[in-house]
């Protein structure tokens, strides 16, 4: 939904998160708009949860597994910092740099880019189990990236992005002018202050009514 698709809701209403409803058609549009905002707000929270999972895997698990499961770099058997250790450390550092640059800085949620900078983590593995575990982590990151990119693309095209705030509905009517007492023939009985009210007699009321009938 774009702003041009709305008949009554304006950008000013969205910025103020409030709209004054004056017709049934306007109410239906606002009701449908709020329902869509609630749906997109939930999708936004889902996107955030997936993003935090991706960050934890990419900045904690993948670098740790890249260093630990590398050839001659297993923490349980390693007795010295070998050349393979520094190679695995460089691969992990490269992975973290690419993730921070493309995902956190440029916010490009493309699974192909994720696959490209995940491939070096498959090199120099200790055994087939380590290779499969690294491949599984890369696959999980790519799947999360694919889902996030799909949701982000859908949300960007919607009106109200990124806050998706629901509109508060008011029903204020325009101020109605007070009727002119002179036209009614009772101007002489208008209250001018507290305690300053002239009470007409029955004769005066009858005379006023007769005058109105003649008009």
DSSP 76-109: TT--S--HHHHHHHHHHHHHHHHHIIIIIIS---
61 CB neighbour count, 10 Å cutoff: 14
Q: Give the pLDDT confidence of 116-174 residue by residue, as tens digits.
A: 999 998 887 777 888 898 899 999 999 999 999 999 988 988 888 888 889 999 987 65
pLDDT at 202: 59
In terms of phi and psi (left: phi > 0; alpha: psi -120 to 50; beta: otherwise), the region of 205 is: alpha
Asked whether the predicted pLDDT for residue 186 surpasses 90, the reply is no
Cα–Cα distance, 197 to 148 (Å, whole number): 72
Cα–Cα distance, 74 to 76 (Å, whole number): 5
**Domain boundaries of the chain, sorted by first residue:** 3-170, 181-214
Q: Are 71 and 125 in contact (CB under 8 A)?
A: yes
Q: H or E element: which one contains 20?
A: strand 18-20
Q: Give the pLDDT confidence of 74-130 residue by residue, as tens digits.
A: 544 444 557 777 888 899 999 999 999 999 999 888 999 999 999 998 887 777 888
Q: Under DSSP, is residue 111 helix (H, G, I), strand (E, B) or coil?
A: helix
pLDDT at 209: 63
Q: DSSP assignment, residue 47?
A: H
Q: Give the pLDDT confidence of 18-68 residue by residue, as tens digits.
A: 999 988 999 999 999 999 999 999 999 999 999 999 999 999 999 998 888
Q: DSSP assignment, residue 115?
A: H
């Amino acid at each position: 939904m774009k702003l041009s698709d709305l008949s009554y809701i304006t950008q000013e209403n969205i910025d103020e998160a409030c709209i004054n409803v004056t017709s049934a058609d306007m109410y239906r549009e606002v009701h449908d708009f709020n329902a869509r905002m609630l749906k997109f707000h939930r999708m936004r929270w889902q996107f955030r949860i997936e993003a935090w999972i991706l960050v934890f895997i990419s900045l904690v698990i993948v670098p740790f597994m890249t260093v630990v499961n590398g050839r001659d770099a297993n923490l349980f058997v390693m007795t010295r910092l070998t050349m393979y250790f520094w190679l695995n450390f460089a691969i992990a550092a490269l992975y973290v740099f690419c993730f921070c640059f493309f995902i956190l800085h440029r916010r490009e949620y493309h699974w192909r880019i994720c696959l490209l900078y995940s491939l070096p983590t498959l090199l120099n593995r200790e055994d087939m189990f380590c290779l499969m575990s690294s491949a599984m982590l890369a696959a999980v990151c790519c799947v999360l990236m694919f889902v996030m990119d799909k949701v982000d693309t859908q949300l960007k095209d919607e009106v109200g992005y990124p806050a998706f705030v629901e509109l508060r509905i008011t029903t204020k009517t325009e101020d109605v002018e007070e009727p002119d007492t002179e036209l009614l023939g009772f101007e002489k009985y208008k209250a001018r202050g507290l305690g300053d009210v002239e009470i007409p007699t029955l004769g005066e009321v009858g005379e006023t009514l007769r005058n109105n009938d003649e008009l």
